Amino acid sequence: MSRTGQSAVVGSPLELSGRRKIRFDNRYVAPLFITCILLVGHISYGILESWERTAIAIVFAIIAELILGRIFFGKWLNLASAYISGISVGILIRSPALWPYALCSVISMMSKYVLRVKGRHLWNPSNFGICALLLLAPDTVTALSVQWGNFIWPLLVIWVLGSIIIWRAKRFHISATYVISFFAFAFLRSWITGDPWRAEVAPITGPMYQLFVFFMVTDPKTTVRSKTGQCVVAFLVAFAEMLLRLNDVVYAPLYALFIVGPTAMLIDIWWESRARRPDASEAVQPI
């Protein structure tokens, strides 16, 4: 996951010392939110494998971003994106070993620099890193697949706060489209398989989906540019997930985004370059 609201939306100013104003950069809302989820979840329910593992994931993501940003952009980059990627890896990866946390973070950050087309990276970094580890190290790595605690209210708080933050970042329509599509496809799956509809709905009540819905599918750097396109992609992610679920794929949402996200990005990039072409052709039109 890279940062949400990265397009430098400026938040409400806070009045300080009468005249002096400090602007709260919206780029830090998402890191703050995910940190709160992490702290509350771990202190109350012990959601993490351990603090050390999550710390490793964050530190390695930040180091990778610092080094790669310096080499390829010649500057020290803002670390909000790396922090979110690291913390996401720390929460979503489950492994008794330490190395997957470091490796996943580094692969996630590197994917932003390697897998690029026309200056845009294709995969959500942590989605890429997690899927890579799930596919390449299934004997050591799994993803978070159980809920945190038993009560409904922490879940509601996360959904409400997450929705507000996503709304402020102007990406609520993506999450909403995905969630509505998920429920529709859950009922469809229930009808097809004969399993209880609650069993089909169950996954979205878990924390993996909270992170997925608010931080992964909404990533501004790896979503298409038009609002309609974003909704279509979110719908297609849910559809691909349904197909994977019908084939008993455990980490269906992660793989669905892994497949649909970059495909949509490539189409978007191609569409954009095609739209620019007439200008160029006009410039060389013969008299």
Task: Using CB under 8 A, list all residues that contact other proteins.
Answer: 45-46, 49-50, 68, 71-72, 94-97, 99-100, 103, 106-107, 110-111, 113-114, 132-134, 136-142, 145-152, 155, 193-196, 198-203, 205-206, 208, 245, 248-250
Least spacing, CB of residue 149 vs other proteins, in Å? 5
* Residue with Cβ nearer other proteins (100 or 261): 100
* Residue with Cβ nearer other proteins (135 or 267): 135
Task: DSSP for 197-265, please give it.
Answer: HHHHHGGGGSHHHHHIIIIITT-GGGS-SSHHHHHHHHHHHHHHHHHHHHTT-TTHHHHHHHHHHHHHH
* Residue with Cβ nearer other proteins (221 or 245): 245
- The secondary structure element, H or E, covering residue 183 is helix 172-193
Least spacing, CB of residue 209 vs other proteins, in Å? 8
- Phi and psi, residue 113, nearest 5°: -95, -25
Least spacing, CB of residue 177 vs other proteins, in Å? 22
Least spacing, CB of residue 65 vs other proteins, in Å? 13
Least spacing, CB of residue 45 vs other proteins, in Å? 6
- Phi and psi, residue 284, nearest 5°: -110, 15
* Residue with Cβ nearer other proteins (198 or 225): 198
Torsion of CA 79, 82, 85, 91, to 10 degrees: -70
Cα separation of 106 and 59, whole Å? 10
* Residue with Cβ nearer other proteins (149 or 229): 149
* Residue with Cβ nearer other proteins (27 or 245): 245
- The secondary structure element, H or E, covering residue 32 is helix 29-45
Least spacing, CB of residue 259 vs other proteins, in Å? 17
Closest among 151, 170, 172 to 160, alpha carbons compared: 172
